[in-house]
C-alpha cells in the first residue's frame, strides 16, 4: 500500500495529461448545424463517415478534405428518408465509405466510467494525501489521542555497556529482581517503587541506564518524551497518557520511560512560566494513572530530567516517584571505564593511555567522552592512519572543548606576542600558586572564539571546595589580563571569558557559599536556571543596602586576587618571559615542556642531554678498544713500604 501511495502523484499527473489530450482531440473536430453542413457539402469532398441512426435524429461523424487539409466534423440531422438518401449520395460521391453504427452498442456503464474516472482519481489522490498528513508518526488520519510511545523488545543493552555509575546501578538492581521474580517481594509484603526519577546533567547516561534495566530484566521498554504528550488540542495529552498506561498493562511486566519529564511535569499555576490548561491536564492525568497503579502490577515508571527544581511537588511525593537516583558526572575512575566501553570497536595505537585521557578530561560527561574517541577516529581516517594515536585523541579533546583549530587565521606579530604573554600569565600562576589547577597544555592557536587557551585540570578531584581553592581559581583566571598589564601597560578584550567566570565564582562565594564578611547567610537561590513565573514573581530576597554590601564584597575578593596575581607574576617575570617566548616560537607547549622550562630553562630538559651524552660515550667506547691496565708487582709494593718507614724515622 505504501508503494502505491508513493506512485499516486505520478498517476495523478498522467490522468491529467490524458484528460487534456482527450479534450484537445475533441477540440480539433468541427461541430456544425444542418445549414452549415449543407453549405459545406457543396465545397468539399468527404472521406469515410460513421452514421448513427436513432428514432428522431441522424448523427454523422467523419472527415472532409479542404484546402487546409483533412478536418474532422460532427453534425446532427433530423431523421427522414430524404435526408438519408441525400447523405448517402453526398458522403459517397467522392469514394467515401459509410459505416452504420448501432446507437445501443456502447454500454451506459462504460460511458459513466469514462466520465467519472478522472473524478475518482482526483478523489483517491486527495484521500491518501490527507491520510498521510493527519496521523503523525502512525500515518493514520486524526489519531491524535493515541499514545506515541515507542515500544522496544529484546533490548541488547546491558549493565556492562553502562560505565561510570556503579552506585546508580545498585539503586536500580531491585527493579530488575522484581521484574524477573515478583513473587519473593509479594511474599515478604514489600512493594517495588512505582516510579524512579533519574536526575543529572545532560549526557551522563540516564536514558542508557534505563534501557539497560529493561535489557537486564528482558521486558518491553516504552519510551516517550515529555513533549510528545502536549498538542494544540486540549485534552489530547491526557488521552495519550491513558492510552500509554493501557498499552503498558497489556504488556506487563514492562518499563515506561519518560524522557525530559519537566516538559510536562512543571509546577502548576506558574503563570507566565509556560503552563497552560493542556499541560496541566496532562500532568493531572499522569498523577491519576500513577495513583491507579496497584502495588506490584508489573509496571515501573522511570523518568529523567536535568531540572528537578521545576517539577511539581505532587509528582515527587512518595507513592508516585518513590526513589530519586542522581546520575552525576563521572570521576576519573568512571571516565576511564567509560573510555574502555567506547574504545571496544576502536583501533587504538600502542601509545594510547586511557588512564591519561581520563585524567585530562575532568567535567566530561559520558557523551563527551564518546565524542572524544569518535573525533579521534575521524581524525585518524582523515590523516590516512591505520590506528588512532594519542596525538589524534589530544586534538580531539581540544576540538570537543573549544572547536577545531583555525590554522588559516593569521596573527600580526604584536597580537601573537600579546596572546603569548596572556596564556603564559595563566600558566605561571598555575605553576606557582599552591591551590591552583595544574597546567596540562598551553596553546596560542585560535579555536572557536578564543585566540588561545590553557588546559588546566584540578590536582585532585573533590566533592567540596575550600575558600582558598576558589581564591586560587580566581587568581589563575586573572593571570592573562594581569600579564598584559605588566608587559604592555594596557589590557585587551581577550580576557572577556576569564572575567565572566571569575565574576560568577566571586558572586557565588558571597551570595551562595557565605565565604565573606557578610557571614553564613545565603542571598541567592543556588538552583541554577531561572524558572519563569515563579522566580520573577518572588522579588528580591534582600534589601538594597545588602545588595550594596554584596557588590563591595565581590569587588574586594577580585581586587585581592588581582593584587596577589600581580605579585606572583612580578616575582617570576623571567619565567613569564621564557614561557611567552617559547609559546611565540612553538605555538603549543605541553605539561612536560612547561615543567622543563620552569626547572631547567629549556624545553627538552637535562634528560634529553644526558641521553645524548650516554649515546655518544657508548659509541666512542664501541669505536676505541679499552687500554688494559698494567698489573702491580710485588717489588712496587715493597718499595712503597720502605718509603713510608723512612718518613716515620
Active site residues: 423
Rounded distance between C-alpha atoms, residue 433 and residue 418, angstroms: 23
Query: What values do phi and psi take at 219, rounded to 5?
Result: -125, 160
What is the rounded distance in angstroms from the CA atom of residue 495 to the CA atom of residue 419?
10
**Phi and psi at residue 62, to the nearest 5°:** 175, -155
Burial readout 225-242 (b: 16 or more C-beta within 10 A, e: otherwise)? bbebbbbeeeebbbbbbb
User: Residue by residue, what is the 3-state secondary structure of 186-228?
Assistant: HHHCCCCCCEEEEECCCCCCHHHHHHHHHHHHCCCEEEEEHHH
In sequence order, the 6+-apart residues with CB closer than 8 A to the CB of 158 are 212, 215, 216
Task: Identify the DSSP state of 253.
Answer: S
Distances (CA, A) of 432 to 163, 454, 496, 606: 36, 15, 24, 21
CA atoms of 630 and 363, how far apart (whole Å): 68
Long-range contacts of 432-435 (CB under 8 A, 24+ apart): 432/568, 432/571, 432/572, 433/472, 433/475, 433/476, 433/568, 434/472, 435/466, 435/468, 435/469, 435/471, 435/472
Longest dimension (CA), the chain: 183
Q: Give the torsion sign (CA, 395, 401, 404, 405).
A: negative
Distances (CA, A) of 573 to 69, 84, 359, 570: 105, 124, 30, 5
Sign of CA dihedral 365, 366, 370, 376: positive
Q: Which residue is associated with the grid cell 486524526?
A: 142
Block residue for cell numbers 518499563: 255
Alpha-carbon distance values, 326 to 209, 221, 323 (Å): 12, 21, 10
Closest CA to 126 of 282, 12, 212, 259: 12
CB-based burial label for 65 (10 Å; 0-12, 13-18, 19+): middle
* The residue to which cell 586534538 is assigned: 395
Q: How many residues does the chain have?
A: 649
Peptide bond into 146 cis (omega under 30): no
Whether the Cβ atoms of residue 533 and residue 275 lie closer than 8 Å to each other: yes
Amino acid at each position: 500500500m505504501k508503494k502505491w501511495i508513493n506512485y499516486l502523484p505520478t498517476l495523478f499527473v498522467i490522468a491529467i495529461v490524458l484528460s487534456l489530450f482527450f479534450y484537445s482531440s475533441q477540440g480539433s473536430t468541427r461541430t456544425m448545424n444542418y445549414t452549415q453542413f449543407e453549405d459545406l457539402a457543396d465545397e468539399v469532398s468527404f472521406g469515410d463517415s460513421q452514421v448513427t441512426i436513432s428514432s428522431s435524429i441522424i448523427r454523422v461523424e467523419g472527415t472532409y478534405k479542404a484546402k487546409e487539409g483533412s478536418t474532422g466534423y460532427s453534425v446532427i440531422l433530423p431523421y427522414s428518408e430524404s435526408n438519408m438518401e441525400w447523405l448517402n449520395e453526398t458522403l459517397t460521391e467522392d469514394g467515401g465509405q459509410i459505416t452504420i453504427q448501432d446507437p445501443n452498442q456502447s454500454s451506459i456503464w462504460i460511458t459513466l466510467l469514462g466520465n467519472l474516472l478522472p473524478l475518482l482519481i482526483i478523489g483517491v489522490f486527495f484521500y491518501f494525501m490527507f491520510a498521510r498528513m493527519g496521523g503523525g508518526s502512525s500515518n493514520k488520519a486524526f489519531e491524535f489521542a493515541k499514545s506515541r510511545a515507542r515500544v522496544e523488545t529484546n533490548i541488547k543493552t546491558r549493565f556492562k555497556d553502562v560505565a561510570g555509575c556503579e552506585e546508580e546501578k545498585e539503586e536500580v538492581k531491585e527493579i530488575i529482581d522484581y521484574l524477573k521474580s515478583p513473587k519473593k517481594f509479594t511474599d515478604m509484603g514489600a512493594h517495588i517503587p512505582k516510579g524512579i526519577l533519574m536526575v543529572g546533567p545532560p549526557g551522563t547516561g540516564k536514558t542508557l541506564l534505563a534501557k539497560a534495566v529493561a535489557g537486564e530484566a528482558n521486558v518491553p521498554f516504552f519510551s516517550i518524551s515529555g513533549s510528545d504528550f502536549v498538542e494544540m488540542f486540549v485534552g489530547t495529552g491526557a488521552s495519550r497518557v491513558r492510552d500509554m498506561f493501557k498499552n503498558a498493562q497489556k504488556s506487563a511486566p514492562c518499563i515506561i520511560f519518560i524522557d525530559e519529564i519537566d516538559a510536562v511535569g512543571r509546577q502548576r499555576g506558574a503563570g507566565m512560566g509556560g503552563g497552560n490548561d493542556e499541560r496541566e491536564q496532562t500532568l493531572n492525568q499522569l498523577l491519576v494513572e500513577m495513583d491507579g497503579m496497584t502495588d506490584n502490577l508489573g509496571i515501573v515508571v522511570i523518568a529523567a530530567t536535568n531540572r528537578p527544581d521545576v517539577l511539581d511537588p505532587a509528582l515527587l511525593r512518595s507513592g508516585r516517584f518513590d526513589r530519586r537516583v542522581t546520575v552525576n558526572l563521572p570521576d576519573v575512575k568512571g571516565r576511564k571505564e567509560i573510555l574502555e566501553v567506547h574504545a571496544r570497536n576502536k583501533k587504538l595505537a600502542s601509545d594510547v593511555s586511557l588512564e591519561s585521557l581520563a585524567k585530562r578530561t575532568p567535567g566530561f560527561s559520558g557523551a563527551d567522552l564518546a565524542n572524544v574517541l569518535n573525533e579521534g577516529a575521524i581524525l585518524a581516517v582523515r590523516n590516512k592512519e591505520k590506528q588512532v594515536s594519542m596525538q589524534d585523541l589530544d586534538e580531539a579533546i581540544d576540538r570537543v572543548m573549544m572547536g577545531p583549530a583555525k590554522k588559516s587565521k593569521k596573527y600580526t606579530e604584536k597580537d601573537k606576542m600579546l596572546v603569548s604573554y596572556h596564556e603564559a600569565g595563566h600558566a605561571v600562576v598555575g605553576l606557582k600558586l599552591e591551590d591552583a589547577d595544574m597546567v596540562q597544555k598551553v596553546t596560542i592557536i585560535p579555536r572557536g572564539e578564543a585566540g588561545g587557551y590553557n588546559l588546566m585540570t584540578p590536582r585532585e578531584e573533590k566533592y567540596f571546595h575550600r575558600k582558598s581553592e576558589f581564591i586560587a581559581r580566581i587568581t589563575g583566571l586573572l593571570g592573562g589580563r594581569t600579564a598584559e598589564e605588566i608587559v604592555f601597560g594596557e589590557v585587551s578584550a581577550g580576557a572577556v571569558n576569564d572575567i565572566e567566570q571569575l565574576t560568577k565564582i566571586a558572586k557565588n562565594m558571597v551570595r551562595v557559599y557565605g565565604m565573606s564578611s557578610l557571614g553564613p547567610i545565603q542571598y541567592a537561590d543556588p538552583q541554577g536556571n531561572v524558572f519563569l513565573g515563579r522566580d520573577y514573581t518572588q522579588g528580591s530576597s534582600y534589601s538594597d543596602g545588602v545588595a550594596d554590601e554584596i557588590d563591595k564584597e565581590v569587588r574586594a575578593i577580585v581586587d585581592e586576587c588581582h593584587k596577589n596575581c600581580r605579585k606572583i607574576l612580578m616575582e617570576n617575570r623571567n619565567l613569564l618571559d621564557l614561557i611567552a617566548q617559547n609559546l611565540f616560537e612553538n605555538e603549543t607547549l605541553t605539561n612536560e615542556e612547561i615543567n622543563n622550562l620552569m626547572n631547567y630553562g629549556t624545553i627538552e630538559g637535562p634528560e634529553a642531554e644526558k641521553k645524548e651524552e650516554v649515546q655518544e660515550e657508548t659509541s666512542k667506547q664501541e669505536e676505541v678498544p679499552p687500554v688494559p691496565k698494567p698489573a702491580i708487582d710485588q717489588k712496587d709494593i715493597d718499595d712503597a713500604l720502605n718509603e713510608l718507614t723512612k718518613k716515620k724515622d
